[in-house]
Amino acid sequence: MLVNAITWLLQRISAALLLVVLGLHLWLLYVANPAEIIQFSEAKARLVTGSYVTIYVLLLLFGLFHALNGLYTVMVDTGLRARLVTISILVILGVTLFGVGLYSVVQFIM
């Protein structure tokens, strides 16, 4: 029961946080950014600043958690029995994807 209650709560918290960081992302890209066409060079320039990197790392973290937790919930809805194995696979997948995303962002700073 604890896992169910906590994952339900975290799904809602991550959704609320996603709204904040996704809103920031859209605002930075389409409102604060004066350029009509998004250029790679400008994106590269933005991603060297700490605040931008923080926003994108958080977006990655909340987005991945929300998506994988949602996927797990759908699988349980349809009668998943091997839960521990599935959770383990999803955790490994999440950590790997987060690592790949983090590596990509860090490349801009290096």
**E strands in the chain:** none
Cβ nearer to other proteins, comparing 53 with 87: 87
Q: Which one among 30, 34, 79, 110 touches other proteins, defined by CB under 8 A?
A: 79
* Residue 100 near other proteins by CB under 8 A: no
Report how far apart, in Å, the C-alpha atoms of 6 and of each of 1, 9, 64, 76 are: 9, 5, 17, 15
In the block, which residue shows the tokens 């931008």?
Answer: 52
4: contact with other proteins by CB under 8 A: yes
Residue in this structure with the two tokens 């797990």, named with its chain if needed: 72
State yes or no: residue 77 binds other proteins (CB under 8 A): yes
* Least gap, CB of 77 to other proteins (angstroms): 5
Token readout for 40 is 């790679």
CA-CA-CA-CA torsion sign (28, 34, 40, 43): negative
Is 1 a binding residue for other proteins by CB under 8 A? The answer is yes
> Tell me, what DSSP letter sits at residue 18?
H
Interface with other proteins (CB under 8 A), residue from 30, 36, 78, 84:
78
The residues of the shown chain that bind other proteins, judged by CB under 8 A, are: 1-2, 4-6, 8-9, 73, 76-79
